[in-house]
Amino acid sequence: MPVSWQKWKLIAYLAMLVFSIIFGSTYSGPFTVPVQVFCIIFGALQFIGIFGLMHESAHGHLAANRKVNRLLGEAMSLIVGTSYPGYRAAHLTHHARFRTEADPQEIIFPKRSAPATMALLTVASVVGAPIFLLVRAPMIALKHTGVLRALWGPIAAVALYALLSQVLPNEQWYFLLWTILAGSVLGSLNDMVYHQGLVAEDTLQACTSFDCDAFGQMFLSGANRHAEHHAYPDVPGPRLVKVAKVLREDFQSRGIPYERSFTVAYLRRFFTNPLFLPLASPQEQDKPARADA
């Protein structure tokens, strides 16, 4: 069942986004640059939070009433600039066909040459999220529904941001653009460490679970518990903390990676595997040893 209070986080995200843009664009004290950078990052996290709620809506977790749940998802797709039916179709297929040729969110499938895979992973680590949301999701939506239904979100988003460009003072409009850019990059970096740089097989060993539950609940609506989310996608994000406590010992014994934070995980993988290429599974790593034996 959906967690009743979760949908109200949208109001908090929008309020904090407005605050960060107004305060960051008008602050002129002794620490102008650090304060502005902080406000841009803080505002970017609000965009990531809104996306996290849209992700929950795609799973039917924001409202027990299916129509209300869908309308909330559609509203957030306007802010994010994507097609809600396209995103929902792609993401649910990602769960059902994880790490296969049919997974629309997977970068390493279909299999390509090593240079092509490296190039795609490099691009995805910086701008993967906006490419998927702004281009891939609407294209997928067009395969599943009519043009108006598929493209309503992106078209309305263009109209919304065009209107904001006219009514906002220049300082606030440019600050909003920097915030959106930061959110796109942070969201892409965030997505990379969920699955990339791990085994290539359709297994939970290709999913990282993060212990940063305060941050995860605040801005990711529980998606930081990503291995648990893939194991039980019908469980709402706020309930995944309890699920993780029950499953952790078993999951770790199966080789599912646990990390404390996204930043530490990203840096560790970047310095050990800069392009986040797939790793050999434990079974494949054991083959030479068994052959020698």
Tens of pLDDT, residue by residue over 194-230, are 999 999 999 999 999 999 999 999 999 999 999 999 9
Q: Assess whether pLDDT exceeds 70 at residue 288.
A: no
- At 29, the pLDDT band (50, 70, 90 cuts) reads confident
pLDDT score for 282: 60
Percent of the chain exceeding pLDDT 70 equals 96
Which residue(s) pair with 225 in the sheet? 209
Please give the mean pLDDT across all residues of the chain.
Answer: 93
Q: 3-state DSSP call for residue 199?
A: strand
pLDDT score for 285: 54
The angle subtended at Cα 203 by Cα 199 and Cα 207, nearest 5°, is: 70
- At 293, the pLDDT band (50, 70, 90 cuts) reads very low
| DSSP 8-class letter at 136 | I
- At 280, the pLDDT band (50, 70, 90 cuts) reads confident
Phi, psi of 146 (to 5 degrees): -70, 165
Measured CA to CA, the distance from residue 50 to residue 34 in angstroms comes to 25
CA 189 to chain centre: 9
Phi, psi of 224 (to 5 degrees): -60, -30
Q: Closest Cα partner for 238 from 216, 257, 260, 259? A: 216
Q: What is the mean pLDDT of residues 27-38?
A: 94
Lowest mean pLDDT, pick from 21-25, 87-91, 109-113, 167-171? 109-113
